[in-house]
Amino acid sequence: MVFISPVVIPALVLGGLFYDFFNSELPPGIDQPLKLRVFHSLLITTMISILEKLGICSDLSLLRAVLDGIPPRRDSKLLIKDLKVDEVPLRIYQPKWPPTGKRRGILYFHGGAGTFGSIRTFERICRYIAKKCDSVVVSVGYRLAPEHPYPGQYFDCLNATLYFMRNLEEYHVDPALIIISGDSCGANFATVICQILLNKRDLPKVRAQVLLYPGLQGLDFHLPSYQQNASVPMLFRKLVIYFCFRYLNKEPSVLEDVLQNCHVPESMKQKYKKWISADIIPDEFKIRGYVPQKSISYKPEVHEAIKEILAITFSPLLAEDSIICQLPESYIVTCEFDVLRDDGLLYKKRLEDNGIQVTWYHSESGFHGILAFFGYGIFSFLSGKKIMDSTVNYINSL
């Protein structure tokens, strides 16, 4: 029997991902492929260098440092305030010009798989929304896993939301215009918080949820978008599972089994196939290729290792219709070259089937994580700017 140190496992997993990247072609139609490949190659080269010296820095420490980005200059048009609520950092952006009435209040939960990303990473996005929408934006720096174990991130986001909703008068915010938003896993948090708030009858009703390329389920990793975009940066198919394990502070020893959906009991597959299935995805999203998964065997030990990703908290797409039908109006962004694309499509359908108004923006050349480059001038992507402008237009329509 060969023993592999747990310290080495991240290097082995990520090394395989890097091999997949360098030996794959970017699909035609993706936004500025040369720029994307250069950026991703630089990140990979740096990570390989660090992982060769694992005693210096962990993979997550490196990602956090890189993705914090370059701090923008001071903005003379915004009042920016930092505070902590129950040890959770918040950054509040308020336009300096006098309001014509009460403003919208927007909570923003950043992406990063619950393990990296920060208020700084999405500083430019929050500033842009605050100014373009004449709104108060609250960026939530929820504490990251694995140092702060799952599901603590949801509690941090909830506590920040409760603080803001109970102090709207201080920020001159209209209680009828509260928007909860986020990107990637932050959109997952936003979805869950909206579901939780349905039971908080003493608080204002959320006006809308804004979900930017959300990840909403851990039941099926063979949907068309997972197959088509398996090796497309910035989020590979294997990397989704890898970060699930990191988020839960577990070693990714059964990663390949999870990729094959061996973690899902047959009874659960049957129960939820009406909501999560490639059969529900419109045919135009299968044109780039889709092969139905062959029958696979359920492995109880794999389920036990990663069962948390099948909980409603982790997979809010599995919430019952009695919950979904009460949710607020929604805005959903999906990107064509994103493994999580079909999560957004499936949630859009679930909401619409339950009578919830949905505004949908599909970026035909966008990829996962594209908004992390927003506001960096020549280093940003046109598709990201279009996503932000569509988002701003939607918010201003409320």
As annotated, the active-site residues are 184, 338, 368
Which bin fits 54, alpha (ψ -120 to 50), beta or left (φ > 0)?
alpha
The answer to whether residues 129 and 137 touch, using CB atoms and an 8 Å cutoff, is yes
Distance (Å, whole) CA 2 – CA 201: 56
Residues ≥6 apart with Cβ < 8 Å to 60: 115, 116, 146, 246
Q: Which two tokens stand for residue 32?
A: 């500025």
Shortest CA distance to 58 belongs to which of 159, 147, 162?
A: 147
Distance (Å, whole) CA 361 – CA 189: 20
Q: Which two tokens stand for residue 61?
A: 């420490």
Distance (Å, whole) CA 264 – CA 335: 26
SS3 label, residue 121: coil
Q: Which two tokens stand for residue 273?
A: 């196939």
Beta pairing partners, 93: 80, 137
The answer to whether residues 343 and 215 touch, using CB atoms and an 8 Å cutoff, is yes
- Helix residue ranges, H only, the chain: 9-22, 33-51, 59-67, 123-132, 152-165, 185-197, 224-228, 237-247, 255-259, 266-272, 300-306, 321-324, 341-353, 382-397
Distance (Å, whole) CA 233 – CA 217: 20
Question: What does residue 204 show for φ and ψ, rounded to 5 degrees?
Answer: -60, 150
Distance (Å, whole) CA 250 – CA 91: 31
Q: State the Rg of the chain over Cα.
A: 20
What is the per-residue DSSP string for 29-57?
T-SSHHHHHHHHHHHHHHHHHHHTTTTT-
